[in-house]
Amino acid sequence: MGDNICLTGHKKEIMAVHDAMDVLSGKWKISIISSICYYNGRRFSDILNDVHGISNKMLSKELKDLEINKLIKRTVFDTQPVTVQYNLTEYGCTLRTIIDNLAHWGMEHRKAIIGK
Amino acid sequence: MGDNICLTGHKKEIMAVHDAMDVLSGKWKISIISSICYYNGRRFSDILNDVHGISNKMLSKELKDLEINKLIKRTVFDTQPVTVQYNLTEYGCTLRTIIDNLAHWGMEHRKAIIGK
DNA sequence: CCGGATCCCTTGCGATACTG
DNA sequence: CAGTATCGCAAGGGATCCGG
């Protein structure tokens, strides 16, 4: 019974995680964000290279999603041929901590896998 | 070529993020982990309730994946009927920071959405 | 260089029903 | 309660070609 009061409290956090994942889930989104984030602005073809295995179609679609959610912004430079740059918005930058943690965890994880 | 040295540095982090997502991606995994994490041990049907929208089939499958990756452990209690509890392994607990960050970001994100 | 359009196969995943 | 089995659609996502 005391328990249930506690339960209610946790639901809130679980839902919050769920909300976050609503925007971030998808096979590629977080990798894409990390590419843009670490390079502090990045072009389409560069991201295509950074994110191993992604197709241009998927990249195009995921970038659009992220733009709609105001996490990144798209800037077109009128060169010949056109170049396009993607940057994190201020809002997108608030993900930095999460990205860093994931990168850190990913490195440790890799060690754990190899070491075993 | 000078470029590439710089690139290499960032590639490492991007790959690390990718490695992390290898284990964590999927529509439900992170939500499941957060449920188990916040309750410090959780049963099948409880997770089914916590994670809004998941089906028993998917939950079963995702739990199996997480177990294979040593992030959670499964304990069967020989009651009538059987009860099963899922807990984070020590290794799984290293995700705590990430979960907390996501929960925090999710709450802010919700505010941002509603506020707009 | 950036990305849209099309084709087509594969997978995710929900619904439902069933077992120990 | 804690799953497994089967069905079947819809979405995911790769390959390729094309236009600005």
- All domains in chain B, ordered by first residue: 2-114 (1.10.10.10)
In order, the DSSP letters of B39-83 are HTSEEHHHHHHHSTT--HHHHHHHHHHHHHTTSEEEEEE--SS-E
Contacts of B63 (CB under 8 A, 6+ apart): B32, B44, B47, B72, B74, B86
| B25 neighbors A25 (Cβ within 8 angstroms) | yes
Q: Which nucleotides of C are covered by protein (CB under 7 A)?
A: 1-6, 12-17, 20
CB atoms within 10 A of CB B109: 22
Chain B hits for A51, Cβ within 8 Å = 14, 18
Render pLDDT for B15-44 as a digit per residue (tens, 0 to 9). Answer: 999 999 989 988 899 999 999 999 999 999
- A58 CA to C18 C1' distance (Å): 39
| B45 neighbors B38 (Cβ within 8 angstroms) | no
Confidence class of residue A9 from pLDDT cuts 50, 70 and 90?
low
Query: Would you state the pLDDT for residue B1?
Result: 41
The tally of CA atoms less than 13 A away on the side-chain side of residue B107 is 10
- Rounded to the nearest angstrom, the minimum Cα separation between B104 and chain A is 7
**What CA–CA distance (Å, rounded) separates A39 from B8?**
11
Chain B hits for A39, Cβ within 8 Å = 10
**Among B10, B38, B98, beta carbon nearest to A10:** B38
Name the CA radius of gyration of chain A, rounded.
18
Confidence class of residue A6 from pLDDT cuts 50, 70 and 90?
low
* Percent share of chain B, pLDDT over 90: 77
Query: Would you state the pLDDT for residue A27?
Result: 84
Query: Would you state the pLDDT for residue B89?
Result: 97
Confidence class of residue A103 from pLDDT cuts 50, 70 and 90?
very high
Query: Would you state the pLDDT for residue B5?
Result: 44
CB atoms within 10 A of CB B1: 4
Confidence class of residue A70 from pLDDT cuts 50, 70 and 90?
very high
| A34 neighbors A23 (Cβ within 8 angstroms) | no
Render pLDDT for A10-53 as a digit per residue (tens, 0 to 9). Answer: 899 999 999 999 899 888 999 999 999 999 999 999 999 999 99
